[in-house]
Amino acid sequence: MEVQLGLSLTGKPSGFDSVSWSEDGMLSICTDSNIHVVTPLITTTLSDLDEYDIGAVVNDLLPENADFGESSVLEKPLQSSYSMQESYRCAQWSPTGLSRKHGCLMTILTTKHRVLLFEPDKVTSNWVLCLDMTHLVKKDALQDSATGEFDTLEQINRFHSLYMAWSPTLYIDAIPSNPSLLAISNKAGGISLWSYSVKQGIQHQVSFQPHTTFCNLMYWSKWRRKGDGSYVGYLLSTGANGIAVLTSVNVMCGEKSITSVETHTVYQWFEEGSSLANVIKLWDASGDTIMILIVKQLVVYSLVLKVQDGLQLAPEGTWMDFIIPSSAVGVTGAYFASNGSQIRLFTYEGDGLVMVYQDGAWNLDDSLSAELTKKLQLKYRQQWMEETSKYEEEDILNGMDMVPRVWGVDTTPHGLYSAVLFMIKPVVDIHSYNESRDSTNITFLVHPQIDGVDATAKLLEKLVSYINDPDFFFTYSVRSILHELLEFLLDEEDNTQFMALLNTLNEILESSSSRDLSGGDASNLKRQVYGEPKIIAARILLYINTELKLYKLQDDTRQLLFEMYNKSRHYVTCNFLQSILSYMNDQSDDYWSSLTNEDIFQILLWCDASLSEVLGLREVLPVTDMLQPLKTTYEKLHRHCPSSPLLGNISASIFMVDSIANIPIPFSLDDLCACDGGHVFNRCSVTLQVIASPVYQSCIKCGSTRLPLPTVDTNAQHPSSMLSVSDTVLSNCWMCIYCGSDMETKKP
């Protein structure tokens, strides 16, 4: 990513918080008139593919005279939002998993204080509106109004939203739709909290008043579980009067949703009338330390908080401050790096500063700062040469000096890359009035070290810890973790780092399985299918193979990846089928006796497929133990369902019929099924049945297909008592059984 040229985008940045990475590896750039969405792609330098996928937000901005009823209040001050055409104020990403395609939502705030939620378009790279929250925010602001219209300036200020911040996802359980909280601040100094999930939609939870004036910035910590369905997170916010407030947000959750939210002020810092904060950050790795960074132009403040018993916070020492040297405007971008041991600062004038935490204090590291500044200056110069090459007087212009102006910086989840948003202008204006245009540039820096050592070993160590987490596919964005990792490890000329990744995964694949197949509840079925370390590693291999399908690997590396892919596919499929059979074997005798012919047919399909997969692994694994669940299932079928005609004369065509020509479809385990009439159908990767309906689900990554999720409520303690065998498994295996990605519904 770093070796690629930067991008030039139209528009002027809307502020110093105009660039942001999503958990899905996408980048948003907020300018006054456009929201650009940039997705870096993994390609080689000789590839014909583009280096970036560039999209935009499709939205109509309001004219100058548009308002939402504020004009009814006569005694109000003149504000720019009343007299100017609408433009964009800021854009923030939600956590992944909240859009209908199970990715990130983009939340946009305009200068007319509209709050808009966007999601990816199904056809193009653009983003389309999925929810306009403006009327909901207005309703919350007018709770004390008898007429439902604005009566006072205070009501208008509560309606005028200024900033937004999404909390991390609140993982209540391994369910398809977990919520997150959206904080929206306003001119009155208040903050409203809204929960959002795919199933529940948007719901107002609570509003509170931490400030007495404009609340301009907010930042969330991670969630911490208190027990009994209770969670606590911390929201840092700053006001226009310079005061910073840390608020605890206590959330009570039921089985599938949030039941209540309470807020309490934990700390209030800085005196009223102090300078305005323009950058705030938190570093929180869910441990016993939370670090706070507040930048007020030329002064950087930092504080360390310790998480004590009962999840209470206590400052470790006092606020530390540092004055930025050689800058007239100050810091316009900052973030924590190297597991919280460093702070990288970026000044408006284009310099980079690195502060290191040692012995309880932050100190400027001159060597690291000089190295970062050198990288930045090289990027500015490259972009300047690219822009001036468009003019005829190229030789003259290349000798002309330029000045950079940095408008924001953000880093990827692992901190391996940072995106720098900047503008460059010549010292002498070379444009005529008619050709003068605002142009914003985005470039990328790579940071190959973590904690002062090469990042490869640290990354692989972190990946192993992810793999050993049974809730990996329920709690992390697979794309975010693997895309950044692959981008960093891949090298066209040297495959050493990528081979280290493959060898690490292969060691886990060759390890002995520790999967516990006991218990017949649906929760165990989810974790049997998705949570065993060997199977997580296998799914990661399948994901990597799909991600690198068009990447030119060296021949020996491609061959090794192909061999590991085939082995991983067998492991994943065999584990999936055996998990189902083990789950079925643990059910009661009454359950088995109540099976319908459709249920028996479904179980037999899984049995036949399981036998095929086990025999396919006989050269690499002992199959005796793997055949035991299959043997037990056959025995239970004969014992509890002896009268079923399917057990004496199995005929798959009974339930696999071409709905168009009414012709039986021969049994097959291939991805596609065909009848004698020449009609071809997809096969469900979960049930192995023919997908005859035009409505089905498809993996967003590898393209595997499956039947839609059942619509019956599965919240009951024993969902299998209400659902068929196939629907029970479908409702608990909602992610792709091959690569672990999310599924999207396809309709004609």
- 74 and 191 belong to one structural domain: yes
State yes or no: pLDDT of 424 exceeds 70. Answer: yes
- Is 274 within a domain? no
State yes or no: pLDDT of 622 exceeds 70. Answer: no
- 56 and 161 belong to one structural domain: yes
At 653 the pLDDT is: 42
What is the percent of the chain where pLDDT is above 90?
40
- Tell me, rounded to whole angstroms, the distance of Cα 736 from its chain centroid: 17
- 539 and 469 belong to one structural domain: yes
- Is 743 within a domain? yes
At 520 the pLDDT is: 43
At 644 the pLDDT is: 64
- 397 and 460 belong to one structural domain: no
- Burial level of 581, CB count in 10 A (0-12/13-18/19+)? buried
Closest CA to 727 of 531, 525, 518: 525
At 571 the pLDDT is: 87
- 30 and 123 belong to one structural domain: yes
Average pLDDT over residues 400-411: 88
Using CA atoms, how far apart are residues 614 and 602, in angstroms rounded to an integer? Answer: 18
Average pLDDT over residues 531-543: 92
State yes or no: pLDDT of 518 exceeds 50. Answer: no
- 31 and 178 belong to one structural domain: yes
Residue 536 CB contacts under 8 Å (≥ 6 apart), including other chains = 466, 467, 472, 473, 530, 740
pLDDT tens by residue, 572-612? 998 899 899 989 998 888 889 888 888 988 998 898 888 88
Q: In a 3-state reduction of DSSP, which class is residue 682?
A: strand
Residue 66 CB contacts under 8 Å (≥ 6 apart), including other chains = 86, 112
At 616 the pLDDT is: 67
At 310 the pLDDT is: 82
- 391 and 537 belong to one structural domain: no
- 205 or 714, greater pLDDT: 205
The conformational region for residue 259 under phi > 0 = left, psi -120 to 50 = alpha, else beta, is alpha
- 7 and 64 belong to one structural domain: no
CA dihedral 417, 422, 427, 428 (to 10 degrees): 130
- Is 495 within a domain? yes
- 476 and 442 belong to one structural domain: no
pLDDT tier at 716 (50, 70, 90 boundaries)? Answer: very low
Which span out of 21-25, 263-267, 394-398 was modeled with the highest average pLDDT?
A: 263-267
Other CB atoms within 10 A of residue 335 CB = 18
For residues 236 and 213, the answer to whether their CB atoms sit within 8 Å is: no
- Is 272 within a domain? no
At 719 the pLDDT is: 43
Where among 571, 586, 601 does a domain terminate? 586
- 747 or 726, greater pLDDT: 726
- Is 578 within a domain? yes
State yes or no: pLDDT of 434 exceeds 50. Answer: no
- 729 or 438, greater pLDDT: 729
- Is 581 within a domain? yes
- Is 281 within a domain? no
Please state the domain count of the chain.
4
pLDDT tier at 433 (50, 70, 90 boundaries)? Answer: very low
Backbone angles phi, psi at 697, to 5 degrees: -115, 145
- 144 and 215 belong to one structural domain: yes
pLDDT tens by residue, 8-22? 888 888 887 899 999
- Is 311 within a domain? no
Average pLDDT over residues 20-49: 81
Where among 220, 237, 259 does a domain terminate? 220
- 669 and 570 belong to one structural domain: no
Average pLDDT over residues 650-661: 53
CA dihedral 458, 464, 468, 471 (to 10 degrees): 80
Closest CA to 594 of 722, 733, 729: 722
For residues 406 and 476, the answer to whether their CB atoms sit within 8 Å is: no
DSSP state, 388?
H
At 639 the pLDDT is: 85
State yes or no: pLDDT of 458 exceeds 90. Answer: no
Closest CA to 482 of 537, 564, 550: 537
Using CA atoms, how far apart are residues 702 and 679, in angstroms rounded to an integer? Answer: 23
- 431 and 477 belong to one structural domain: no
State yes or no: pLDDT of 711 exceeds 80. Answer: no
Other CB atoms within 10 A of residue 198 CB = 16
Where among 447, 482, 498 does a domain terminate? 447
- 451 or 563, greater pLDDT: 563
Residue type, 308: Q
Using CA atoms, how far apart are residues 347 and 356, in angstroms rounded to an integer? Answer: 17
Residue count (the chain)? 748
At 650 the pLDDT is: 46
Closest CA to 256 of 336, 195, 320: 195
Tell me which residue range forms the domain holding 369.
1-16+332-447
What is the percent of the chain where pLDDT is above 70?
84
Q: In a 3-state reduction of DSSP, which class is residue 131?
A: strand
- Burial level of 657, CB count in 10 A (0-12/13-18/19+)? middle
- Which token pair is 188? 């009155």
